[in-house]
A and B are shown apart, each in its own frame.
Chain A
């Protein structure tokens, strides 16, 4: 926001309150009410307004207090945000960033535990990225703001408390690049967002059991970084996808299709995909745990895959 006066932030309680997850803390005091805008609870219209402002060249960052609320703005995101660049014959670009926390939290209930990446992935004209560490959160956010394309940045409710030493200076992470978390030889594990941590936990167990998993945080949900993923598949010949998305029509489903289409000859076994159950997230903690992928399941899956 310091670097470019056209950047502004819009969302519920982003200003005076500092943000429901403190993402925008201190910004209102520093940049004022015209650049950090507290909106009423009207997702459809303020997302639309953000898109309209972006059409003129401003660079708004629109926050959905919980990603799930953005379902109310689906029409604006799909038809206006995604399509205006095309339907205007290229006259307008929409350099907007739509972001917010999503994913399954701790007993937040079904409506506040949604994963929207699968709903948005088919929208032509938008880019989707998911951050997972303080380092890539800063890098991806900056890249998204600087991009001329509309970018949806998926954050996760449970990852805001992570602490990490990151460079003070300006840096960006490439929006279309996956991140190599742990190089390995036996199996390629593709994951993103919070599941990265479940995978790394499982990886510890797997290493003790003698396996050498290669863990890639795909980061770019649309488009997929098939270059990094492809190189990994060509090396290990086995793929496990671990995602928090729903099983039906999820990111995993699309990823399986993309890998099969492009790298089928390199696979020694069918691709395995661990996703969340196709159910509304239950409130009870024990039930909630069972609906998302746990490290033990990941270990079992790798053992199965590597037989």
Chain B
């Protein structure tokens, strides 16, 4: 009884670390636990030209708690960026990732820092999952020298060379050929590593994507094209922009997988599967079914082309952090209070 009282008072203080370390003082072993756990993904995978991986994902308590912590950090970071933008401390363009955290976190769990990731302008959280610090993020957003690009890039140009994070790109779709070039270099150097080239449902209609996909398939490159489908290309819904919004099928001769992008474990499973596939058979497309709570950018309220009901509906039913929270609680890995 006394112990839990101590734990409660400890968690009232500020740092995010406190809940976990105070949990250690209780008898249940948590943060250091690697004991295997199998969880079923929310929905089965849908595949195109390949066999879908199993719904059962191997994980462990430590990983689940790390997922929770990382996604919560990312969520708070994006909300803080929102406030800073409104206070005019961040200027220009600012595209926030809240809602999509599971993609960044799940992907990172399936790969190593030797694998490359390249994405578009909604890159704050991907940068963090590749090892970027909050200081580098906020300094860059506010145009300071301590930023990851020395303040010269801004929100859309985050890069981290030492962990193979190649940015950070403003022009829609242009990063996909770059990503295939990274995969080419990996094949050239015989690295046994892969490249994840991320793009959105809006970019999926760019010609250069299909050009790069053709070349990657021809040359057997270890390129994994990941469509983060948040269903809106700025203000245009996917059904108004794409004749065929089944983005995982648009590779035609290139296999594809549709994944619930709000389920970090499903993302992890899919990325693991994709990495194995790409190293053996060349390119594959992953479509992550995800959602962004904010508008396209800070200049977009995000409510003129979708209803507030839709947004709150997704938040209630599919929020990635809530899903992990429920998993942690149902497996008794931590208490409600610790997860605040």
Contact = CB atoms under 8 A, between A and B. Distances in A.
Interface string B122-156: 00000000000000000000000001111111100
B166 interface: yes
Given A40-B214, A53-B182, A91-B149, 11 more contacts: A49-B180, A51-B178, A52-B180, A52-B185, A53-B185, A55-B181, A55-B182, A58-B188, A88-B153, A89-B148, A89-B153
Contacts of B116: 56
Interface residues of A, number: 33
Nearest to B150: A89
B8 interface: no
B174 A79 contact: yes
A122 B167 CA distance: 24
Nearest to A44: B208
Interface in B197-218: 207-208, 211-212, 214-215, 218
B161 A92 contact: yes
Contacts of A52: 118, 166, 177-182, 184-185
Contact of B212 (A49, A53, A54): A49
A86 interface: yes
A44 B211 contact: yes
Given A48-B177, A79-B174, A89-B153, A40 B185 contact: no
Interface in A293-307: none
24 contacts: A40-B214, A45-B176, A45-B180, A48-B176, A48-B180, A49-B184, A52-B166, A52-B178, A52-B184, A55-B166, A55-B182, A56-B116, A56-B182, A56-B189, A79-B170, A79-B174, A88-B153, A88-B159, A89-B147, A89-B148, A89-B150, A91-B149, A92-B159, A92-B161
A79 B177 CA distance: 13
A57 B171 contact: no
Contact of B185 (A44, A56, A75, A76): A56
A88 B167 contact: yes
Contact of A76 (B153, B160, B174): B174
Contacts, number: 123
Nearest to B182: A52
Contacts of B167: 84, 87-88
B305 interface: no
Given A53-B185, A55-B181, A39 B157 contact: no
